[in-house]
């Protein structure tokens, strides 16, 4: 069944990323169009598009291959490491949204609020399910997760101020919503892995003189990496 889980995750992740790239990104561009912007879609996106990482066909192919392989591996470990069906469903929802975030962040350098809202709504639905499971103290769990989300949000907000915008508002809201959905262990390890990967990547770019200290780049892929490693290492 773990192999089946990996295949299902691969198919869903690829489908989610493709649909996000094909339909959500253009609609998001139109919804963010300024009054002065042209009716032309490309021009209407100019105010929010900062990244050209996935502009070429070869870049898109590499992106989908990596997403497919990575999601299959994470899905395999998720099935083996999840402590319950509910936890498996939680991390599945979390990673589905994270894969979509990776796509929009690479395309637009934006993490839309709708993804955060889906995670928050998902947590409320899981609370309703957990409420009828005798082994789970649903009220205590959701209160703890809510407090963790507040602490994580405050911590990242302070970090963003100290680093002068090194973390965007979208990153803060995403991590807070992950904390609310999955709890303390999941968000702490995902955050640590994401920050370490971001720091390592930044150092490499600085050494190669591809970026300067003030330059920014999408953090979505590193959030995806952090969440995936947390699942693979059974830390969630």
Query: Per-residue confidence of the chain (236 residues) as pLDDT tens digits?
Result: 889 999 999 999 999 999 999 999 999 888 876 444 444 444 444 445 546 678 888 999 999 999 999 999 999 999 999 989 999 999 999 999 999 999 999 999 899 999 999 999 999 999 999 999 988 999 999 999 999 999 999 999 998 888 776 788 999 999 999 999 999 999 999 999 999 999 898 888 888 877 765 666 788 999 999 999 999 998 86
User: Residue 66 has what pLDDT?
Assistant: 96
Cβ contact 234:76 at 8 Å: no
Give dist(CA 148, CA 7) in Å, integer. Answer: 33
The answer to whether 142 and 123 are in contact (CB under 8 A) is yes
The pLDDT value recorded for residue 33 is 60
Domain boundaries, the chain: 2-232
Tell me what pLDDT residue 37 has: 43
User: Measured at the alpha carbon of residue 25, what is the angle toward residues 160 and 110, in degrees to the nearest 5?
Assistant: 5
Q: What is the DSSP string of 18-45?
A: HHIIIIIHHHHHHHT--TTS-SSHHHHT
**Which pLDDT score, from 0 to 100, does residue 65 have?**
97
Q: pTM for the complete prediction?
A: 0.88
């Amino acid at each position: 069944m773990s192999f089946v889980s990996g295949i299902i995750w691969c198919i869903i992740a690829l489908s989610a990323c493709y649909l996000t790239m094909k339909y959500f990104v253009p609609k998001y561009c139109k919804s963010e169009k300024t009054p002065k912007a042209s009716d032309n879609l490309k021009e209407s996106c100019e105010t929010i598009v900062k990244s050209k990482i996935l502009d070429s066909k070869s870049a898109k192919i590499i992106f989908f291959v990596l997403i497919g392989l990575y999601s299959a591996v994470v899905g395999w470990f998720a099935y083996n490491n999840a402590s319950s069906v509910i936890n498996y469903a939680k991390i599945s929802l979390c990673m589905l949204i994270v894969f979509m975030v990776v796509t929009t962040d690479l395309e637009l350098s934006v993490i839309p609020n709708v993804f955060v809202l889906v995670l928050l709504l998902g947590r409320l639905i899981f609370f309703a399910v957990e409420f009828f499971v005798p082994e789970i103290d649903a009220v205590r769990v959701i209160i703890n997760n809510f407090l963790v989300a507040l602490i994580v949000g405050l911590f990242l907000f302070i970090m963003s101020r100290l680093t002068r915008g090194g973390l965007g508002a979208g990153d803060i809201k995403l991590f807070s919503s992950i904390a609310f959905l999955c709890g303390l262990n999941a968000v702490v390890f995902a955050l640590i892995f994401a920050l370490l990967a971001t720091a390592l990547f930044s150092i490499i770019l600085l050494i190669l003189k591809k970026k300067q200290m003030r330059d920014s780049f999408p953090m979505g892929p590193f959030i995806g990496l952090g969440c995936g490693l947390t699942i693979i290492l059974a830390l969630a």
